[in-house]
Structure 1
Amino acid sequence: MGITGMIYMFTMVFSLIVLILSSSTVGYDYFQFTQQYQPAVCNSNPTPCNDPPEKLFTVHGLWPSNKNGPDPEKCKNIQMNSQKIGNMAAQLEIIWPNVLNRTDHVGFWEREWLKHGTCGYPTIRDDMHYLKTVIKMYITQKQNVSAILAKAMIQPNGQNRSLVDIENAIRSGTNNMKPKFKCQKNTRTTTELVEVTLCRDRDLTKFINCPQPPQGSRYLCPADVQY
């Protein structure tokens, strides 16, 4: 192989290495902070919850996402070091419980980290930073859907509510940015609000309007929902 060929091969190998190293930093353009309403989650799950749900929106996950194209998943095979969770566990069990199986909170966080958190670099630095970021968003920064709705006098009493009223209440806590909703029919006539998603920019510094699910999605919400 001549000098020219060696230079060409070196350039190609170097370019490939750079692409691999940088791929984890360009795979998303915003974050979804999704919270689930515990009773609705239990009602929509084929297997009953093993403990009574609380009438609260608690964290489902913090997900790096793309406005166009598929969202990244399982970007690195880096397992969560659960031994480091320590004192955070008490807070996490309240704000980020495994609603379906409360004997497996840690397993839930581990799965969320592996599927979603590993894709959040450089904004999410590592597994413990992922957990700390969720705690900060939900508690310190008051991005708690239940608290936002309660402030607007919208209480979880199982009545039908105007989706517009719910949206306006949430907008009041997110600089007037549009959330995303997920609903599920629990009877022929009643549809429950299952999830609310707040969207943040790539750096988690500000709220943005959430991209909306396509028309025809089975999780779209009607004008009135049960909450």
Structure 2
Amino acid sequence: MGITGMIYMVTMVFSLLVSILSSSTVGFDYFQFTQQYQLAVCHFNPTPCKDPPDKLFTVHGLWPSNKIGGDPEYCKIRNPRKRAKKLEPQLVIIWPNVPDRTNHTGFWSRQWKKHGACGYPTIQNENDYFETVIKMYITEKQNVSRILSNAKIEPDGKSRALVDIENAIRNGTNNKLPKLKCQKKTRVTELVEITLCSDKNRAHFIDCPNPFLPGSPYLCPNNSIRY
């Protein structure tokens, strides 16, 4: 191959890489909608929560994620449109900064910049990100507390079997497997987070990929999970 051919090949490869990297289809392949149980969050937080927690699962974040490899973070912000102030009363209820309720806006901004901006084009801008989460939690009834309650699993501090929690969530998500996070302190294992997963277009629930593996401090045991 002559020098001209080499230059042509290098140029074509470079152009292909630029095209792939700039494509809106590259970067993530599903969404994690993660909700955290406030009592457990405060129990395991390094510093005490500034206000008493509620016995509720509230939003931790909506995170574009990959089945293989790292999840995208701090992506380029496209179509900038700020979060509408009118959304904040609902966000305070469903998406509070549990450890520090004096700084909800800082928490929301971090979630948008670190995760939400990577959801383009499914998520168009900052306002769309928060409107989408409100819709998921309220209109689409992806409120984990409600899903568990519908299965007669209430936050009464009882020990639960893993299969009962998973089946309750499956009943609310077209029989798709959630991702559960537990933590242990003084021989008591508590349910801390539940994640619902959907495809990259948010059109369908999917089985959550990448569960916590044996040996992880966040793996939920088969029995004796306090909620």
The reply to whether TM is greater than 0.5 is yes
Runs of 4+ in 1 over 4 A off after TM superposition: 2-17, 77-82
How do residues 63-74 of structure 1 correspond to structure 2 at under 5 angstroms?
63-74=63-74
Question: Does the CA contact (< 8 Å) of 2:29 and 2:65 recur in 1?
Answer: yes
How do residues 1-227 of structure 1 correspond to structure 2 at under 5 angstroms?
14-15=15-16, 17-22=18-23, 24-76=24-76, 84-188=83-187, 190-211=188-209, 212-222=211-221, 223-227=223-227
Figure out how many residues of one structure are paired with residues of the other and give that number: 223
- Whole-Å Cα distance in 2 between the matches of residues 9 and 209 of structure 1? 41
TM-score (norm: length of structure 1)? 0.90
Residue 214 of structure 2 aligns to a residue whose secondary structure is coil
1:80–1:98: structure 2 CA closer, same or farther, 3 Å change rule?
A: farther
Letter of the 1:21 partner, please give it.
S
Question: Does the CA contact (< 8 Å) of 1:61 and 1:112 recur in 2?
Answer: yes
Question: Does the CA contact (< 8 Å) of 1:36 and 1:195 recur in 2?
Answer: yes
CA shift at 1:127, angstroms? 0.7
TM-score (norm: length of structure 2)? 0.90
CA shift at 1:224, angstroms? 2.1
- Whole-Å Cα distance in 2 between the matches of residues 180 and 44 of structure 1? 19
CA shift at 1:210, angstroms? 0.7
Question: Does the CA contact (< 8 Å) of 1:80 and 1:114 recur in 2?
Answer: no
When the two chains are superposed, the root-mean-square deviation of aligned CA atoms in Å is 2.2
- Whole-Å Cα distance in 2 between the matches of residues 51 and 156 of structure 1? 19
Q: Deviations over 1:21-64 (max 9, x none)?
A: 22x53111110000000000000011000000000000000011
% identity of equivalent residues: 60
Question: Does the CA contact (< 8 Å) of 2:31 and 2:63 recur in 1?
Answer: yes
CA shift at 1:214, angstroms? 2.2
- Whole-Å Cα distance in 2 between the matches of residues 88 and 176 of structure 1? 31
- Whole-Å Cα distance in 1 between the matches of residues 96 and 213 of structure 2? 29
1:5–1:102: structure 2 CA closer, same or farther, 3 Å change rule?
A: same
